Structure 1
Amino acid sequence: MPEYLSPGVYIEETEIGSKPVEGVSTSTAGFLGEAERGPTTPKLITSWLDYQRVYGGLAGEGSYLPYAVEGFFNNGGQRCYIGRIVQAGATGAEIGLKKGSAGALTVQAVGEGEWGNRVAVKVAKGTLSGFRLNVYYWKDAVPLSDPEIAAKDAPRPSVSETFDNLSVDAKSPDYYEKRINGVSQLIRVAKKAGDSGEQPDEAKIAYLAGGLDSSENAGQVSAVPAANQIKLSDGASADKNAYVGMTIHILDGDAKGQSRTVTEYAATKIATLNAAWAEGKAPAAGAKYRITRSGVTVGDYKRTDSAAGSRKGLAGFEEIDEISIVYAPNPDAVSGLTEELIAHCEKLKDRFAIVDAAQNSDAGTLDPRSNDTKYAAFYYPWIKVTEPASGLLRTVPPGGHVAGIFARTDAERGVHKAPANEVVRGAIDLEFQITKGEQDILNPRGVNVIRAFPGRGIRVWGARTLSSDPAWKYVNVRRLFNFLEESIDEGTQWVVFEPNDEKLWGRVRRTVTEFLTRVWRDGALMGTKPEEAFFVKCDRTTMTQNDIDNGRLIVLVGVAPVKPAEFVVFRIAQTSGGANG
């Protein structure tokens, strides 16, 4: 309370009436998948060129993430977060730069994986002062380490970065950590314990090393193995199933070059892994081996093992409130991934998942209704796009393009408009041409078909969720409620700990009413007047005295969302003439 201790005029500010509620964004996407390179903690990307600068280009035959991101931006997307997926246990490449025999600073690749082994650095004298650090990255091959030979015979680096006039003084604006970390798309630098902190010596090109795409256990065969068996040293793993599904690579001896996938684990004091070695050349005692795991799993997407501040995958997406669309290309290729994407959206209740059909799915048997949810939509078939490098057509999942259509529709019409009957930009052809008869079967099953129409292009021709509840049949209805709920949630945070009385209830009613009136005027709600479009109650009818005594303020809001005109029927009758109706 203000104090009035002496005569005078007092000017005081007070709050009355409602507070504005700002509508949240509904078009920020979160993409999960394997990329050529880059960080593994989620990062905001605002263009296709931005993605290429941070994550590179195509990432291998099984990776569709670059196509999805390009399709997203081509179809109207503006912002997305990228969650680069790597296998648990993957390591990052690094190298220590020296001053004489003492360590000066450590250079590390910005993300895990073998790509970091193709990053090289060279230290030279700074143009004006300090030192210069040149950074090079080759996408496909590691050239020779001798710079004179490399300059003649090695291919040009795919990416080059130069940081000049670097200082080792932490107070200087040119301090190497300030200039490089967060700016370089390839490396980060650090002074580790035991490093001298002095300027590193000028040196030839040196490659980072130690980057691995999967967990690895290197060692030696501990005993002469029995037929078709390899024995690993004690303590190789406490988990008896740790190596099932991984691959053992023999690095020397008679069996050098052989590799076999572990299919069974026999628990003994010395871990025994059964592998079908070829025709008698089993690894000899003392032979060196390496174990890697090929292919990501659903656990690599969930990443519940990642720590706060450096969370990856879906765990990292949970920390980003702006994400409203979640997509992982071709989720059917990773067992359990579709279910995890849906569970992620159902848990947070502020985002919507886009799910692809598997490649080469048969229209007659395709039925995704086992995943009964109002937080996801299913799209079929795959589309064909032009591969930038070769100019050839590549068949890719459609979800990235569909996410862009979501964003485009939200910007041009609003989240209440169904993201359908929209052209799929960048799609040259379809995996299959779907007929009306086939869609008659697929549409009731919740399959949103992408079809080609003569003279009208390739269009998304469905807007249904995977829910069996008729109230949540349409994508735009679910996403509209996501928008309303999130906007009201963020716009009424000021209410918490306010005195819970009639004055507050009236302010809350006016706040929500003004917001919903604006939504109705934008065409998102039914009715010719606001009273027909929504109602807001916050009074003794929504709360008991027990609720008030326990600190609860309860607001009841009802809205009448618009539904898409999915079936347009013109009834035409023949008359005998005249103007009689």
Structure 2
Amino acid sequence: MPEYLSPGVYVEEIQIGGKPVEGVSTSTAGFLGLTERGPTTPQFVTSWLDYQRLFGSYFGGSEYLPYAVQGFFDNGGQRAYIARIVKANATKATLRLQASSANALTLTAVGEGAWGNRIGVKVTAGSLSGFKLSLFYWKQSVTLFDPEDKPKTLPRPVVTEVYDNLSVDVASADFYEKRVNGISNLVVLNKLSGDNGKAPSASTIASLSGGSDTVETEGVAAAVTANTIKLAAEASSTDDVYNGMTITIINGDGLGQARKITDYVGSSKTATLETNWDAAALPTTASTYRITQALSYTLADYKRSDTNVPGKRKGLAGLAEIDDISIVYTPNATAITGLAEELITHCEGLKDRFAIFDAPVGSPAANLNPRSALETKYAAYYYPWLKVVDPDTGLLRIVPPGGHMAGIYARTDTERGVHKAPANETVRGAIDLEFQITKQEQDILNPRGVNVIRAFPGRGIRVWGARTLSSDPLWKYVNVRRLFNFLEESIDEGTQWVVFEPNDEKLWARVRRTITEFLTRVWRDGALMGTKPEEAFFVKVDRSTMTQDDIDNGRLVVLIGVAPVKPAEFVVFRIAQVSSGSEG
């Protein structure tokens, strides 16, 4: 109660009626997968260029996350969090800068992995004061050179960062931690144990080292036929050492081609490939190759339950603490044992997000029945894979459709609303499909919860399904499940002010009015059935929804009923012949 201790006029502000409930975002995606480089804690990106700045571009022969992220933004996505996956024992590359032969400062790559070994560092005197730090990153391993001194030497670094006039004085505006850390997309600069914290001396270019996550070997092709390649002297001469690894052409003819090695003969250093090189771009002795060991990633690498520190969590654990995410996607998740089930558990536990799954590549339509293993109302399943243009080669390649579908979810939410089924929408960026699906095949797949992507003459490639993986008829449509996610999360966040308020009739009336005003707005947007609000929803909070025991134990119980709109999945026109002048 306010105190009135002396005579006077008192003006007071009071609150009456309900408080507005703001609708939450429904189109922020969380992506989980392998990237070329970058940090391993989830990072927020708002465009494909933003992703490239932090995580690099396309890489390897079977890494789909870059294609998924580009497909997301091309199809209308605007906000995403990227959780980069690495092995739990992966390490960061480092380099000790020196001053007068003593360690001065330590450079550390922003994320784990062998990519950090391809960062070159050059230290010179600052233009005005302090020191100048130049950073260069190459996508492939090179014989180290200074790009500033050799501007015509190839290959050029794909990322260059320059920080001039850096200071070691904490009070200075040019203090190195203020100027570099959190701004550089390549390194973090710190004073570690054993460093004296002095300005480093000028030095020629050196590379970070010690980063590990993949096993890589590079060299120049010595002899090439349709399905074999003779490796350079750098390659090991041990028999079978490269069996099962992937060889990728990273420079010269055949750029971007990647093939799996099925057999390696150490005595002749000849690798046999699972399929032929593309005849139109056969590698030559001028081509540079990289052999990468295909690491076997497991469910533990995606969950990352070992990093249970707030703000430092990685993988799926990192996405779990980000409340803004409403769509979760991992390319080709069903290929990792247990990962699809873990994503379902993730969504069902948080109850504010929806998962997207891809059918396995090359799956015959008749064999698909995802509900048998992935029954849930919090996920949808899409088939077949898409053919898109590979920017590195200009050729078509097959990629999973989930990233493009997440973008279509976002586009539909923005243009129409979360209540609109994300179907009968054009898939932007898709040139062709892995398989052309017929109506007869979809007649089998649709009741099983498989959302088919089809090519229609004159109408392009479109999503032609909007079902969840639930067999419950109340939750069989994607838009219904996501609408309830939106309503529940919006009401949850918009009524936090109610906690610890006096639990009486006045509070009940305010809560009823708050939720009623929100649902009325949702109804006017076309998300609920009915010609008037009373037909679209009801809100009850009174003695009929809670007992005295509830009140005595601090519980306020509100009963809400809504009538969501359902998609017109089957449009039927019944046409009959009638006699002239007869009435229907």
TM-score by length of 1: 0.86
Gaps of 5+ in 1: 216-250, 262-276, 280-291
- The equivalent position to 2:396 in structure 1, one of 393, 396, 410, is 393
Change (3 A) 1:423 1:256: closer
Matches within 5 A, 1:509-548: 509-548=512-551
Deviation at 1:90, TM superposition (A): 0.5
Contact 2:147 2:153 in 1 (8 A): no
Residue in structure 2 matched with residue 299 of structure 1 by the alignment: 300
Matches within 5 A, 1:312-351: 312-351=314-353
Deviation at 1:59, TM superposition (A): 2.2
- The equivalent position to 2:559 in structure 1, one of 556, 563, 566, is 556
Contact 1:91 1:214 in 2 (8 A): no
RMSD of the TM alignment (CA)? Answer: 2.3
Deviation at 1:154, TM superposition (A): 4.7
Residue in structure 1 matched with residue 49 of structure 2 by the alignment: 49
Change (3 A) 1:549 1:148: closer
Instruction: Give distance in 2, aligned partners of 1:179 and 1:47.
Output: 24
Matched, 1:430 2:424: no
Residue in structure 1 matched with residue 356 of structure 2 by the alignment: 354
Instruction: Give distance in 2, aligned partners of 1:366 and 1:460.
Output: 17
Deviation at 1:153, TM superposition (A): 4.8
Residue in structure 2 matched with residue 218 of structure 1 by the alignment: none
- The equivalent position to 2:510 in structure 1, one of 507, 511, 523, is 507
Contact 2:161 2:184 in 1 (8 A): yes
Change (3 A) 1:256 1:579: closer
Matches within 5 A, 1:432-447: 432-447=435-450
Matches within 5 A, 1:493-504: 493-504=496-507
Gaps of 5+ in 2: 216-233, 245-263, 267-292
Matched, 1:451 2:454: yes
Instruction: Give distance in 2, aligned partners of 1:462 and 1:151.
Output: 53
Deviation at 1:296, TM superposition (A): 1.4
Deviation at 1:148, TM superposition (A): 9.6
**Equivalent residue letter for 2:207:** Y
Matched, 1:486 2:489: yes
Return 481-490 or 140-149, whichever deviates more.
140-149
Matched, 1:17 2:17: yes
Instruction: Give distance in 2, aligned partners of 1:307 and 1:340.
Output: 17
Deviation at 1:66, TM superposition (A): 0.5
TM-score by length of 2: 0.86
Instruction: Give distance in 2, aligned partners of 1:356 and 1:492.
Output: 37
Matches within 5 A, 1:561-576: 561-576=564-579
Instruction: Give distance in 2, aligned partners of 1:16 and 1:133.
Output: 59
Deviation at 1:307, TM superposition (A): 3.2
Matched, 1:60 2:63: no
Partner SS for 2:371: coil
Matches within 5 A, 1:249-268: 258=241
Identical aligned pairs, as a percentage?
A: 71
Residue in structure 2 matched with residue 123 of structure 1 by the alignment: 123
Contact 1:89 1:214 in 2 (8 A): no
Instruction: Give distance in 1, aligned partners of 2:317 and 2:159.
Output: 30
Deviation at 1:146, TM superposition (A): 7.5
Partner SS for 1:69: helix
Matched, 1:406 2:416: no
Instruction: Give distance in 2, aligned partners of 1:469 and 1:15.
Output: 43
* 1:534-561 deviation per Cα after TM superposition (whole angstroms, max 9, x unaligned): 0001111111111111111111100000
* 1:195-245 deviation per Cα after TM superposition (whole angstroms, max 9, x unaligned): 111100000001000000069xxxxxxxxxxxxxxxxxxxxxxxxxxxxxx
Matched, 1:164 2:167: no
* 1:160-205 deviation per Cα after TM superposition (whole angstroms, max 9, x unaligned): 0000111110111110011011111111111112211110000000
Change (3 A) 1:254 1:119: closer
Matches within 5 A, 1:277-292: none
Contact 1:18 1:508 in 2 (8 A): yes
Contact 1:34 1:59 in 2 (8 A): no
Partner SS for 2:408: helix
**Equivalent residue letter for 1:312:** K
Instruction: Give distance in 2, aligned partners of 1:435 and 1:148.
Output: 57
Change (3 A) 1:67 1:515: same
Contact 1:88 1:214 in 2 (8 A): no
Instruction: Give distance in 2, aligned partners of 1:347 and 1:384.
Output: 34
Contact 1:86 1:214 in 2 (8 A): no
Residue in structure 2 matched with residue 34 of structure 1 by the alignment: 34
Residue in structure 2 matched with residue 183 of structure 1 by the alignment: 183
Instruction: Give distance in 2, aligned partners of 1:124 and 1:188.
Output: 18
Matches within 5 A, 1:89-108: 89-108=89-108
* 1:317-346 deviation per Cα after TM superposition (whole angstroms, max 9, x unaligned): 011000000000111221111111111101
Contact 1:144 1:154 in 2 (8 A): no
Change (3 A) 1:256 1:175: farther
Aligned length: 521
Contact 1:143 1:155 in 2 (8 A): no
Partner SS for 1:51: helix
Matched, 1:74 2:61: no
Instruction: Give distance in 1, aligned partners of 2:304 and 2:494.
Output: 32
Residue in structure 2 matched with residue 137 of structure 1 by the alignment: 137
Instruction: Give distance in 1, aligned partners of 2:488 and 2:143.
Output: 55
**Equivalent residue letter for 1:474:** Y
Instruction: Give distance in 1, aligned partners of 2:526 and 2:347.
Output: 26
**Equivalent residue letter for 1:401:** H
**Equivalent residue letter for 2:3:** E
Contact 1:143 1:154 in 2 (8 A): no
Instruction: Give distance in 1, aligned partners of 2:294 and 2:441.
Output: 40
Change (3 A) 1:148 1:554: closer
* 1:1-53 deviation per Cα after TM superposition (whole angstroms, max 9, x unaligned): 11111111111111110000000000000011100001110000100111111
Instruction: Give distance in 1, aligned partners of 2:147 and 2:538.
Output: 73
Change (3 A) 1:379 1:132: same
* 1:293-324 deviation per Cα after TM superposition (whole angstroms, max 9, x unaligned): 82211111100001312111110001100000
Contact 2:325 2:353 in 1 (8 A): yes
Change (3 A) 1:361 1:26: same
**Equivalent residue letter for 2:296:** G
Instruction: Give distance in 2, aligned partners of 1:383 and 1:257.
Output: 34
Instruction: Give distance in 2, aligned partners of 1:210 and 1:154.
Output: 25
Deviation at 1:254, TM superposition (A): 9.6
Contact 1:451 1:460 in 2 (8 A): yes
Contact 1:112 1:211 in 2 (8 A): yes
Residue in structure 1 matched with residue 219 of structure 2 by the alignment: none
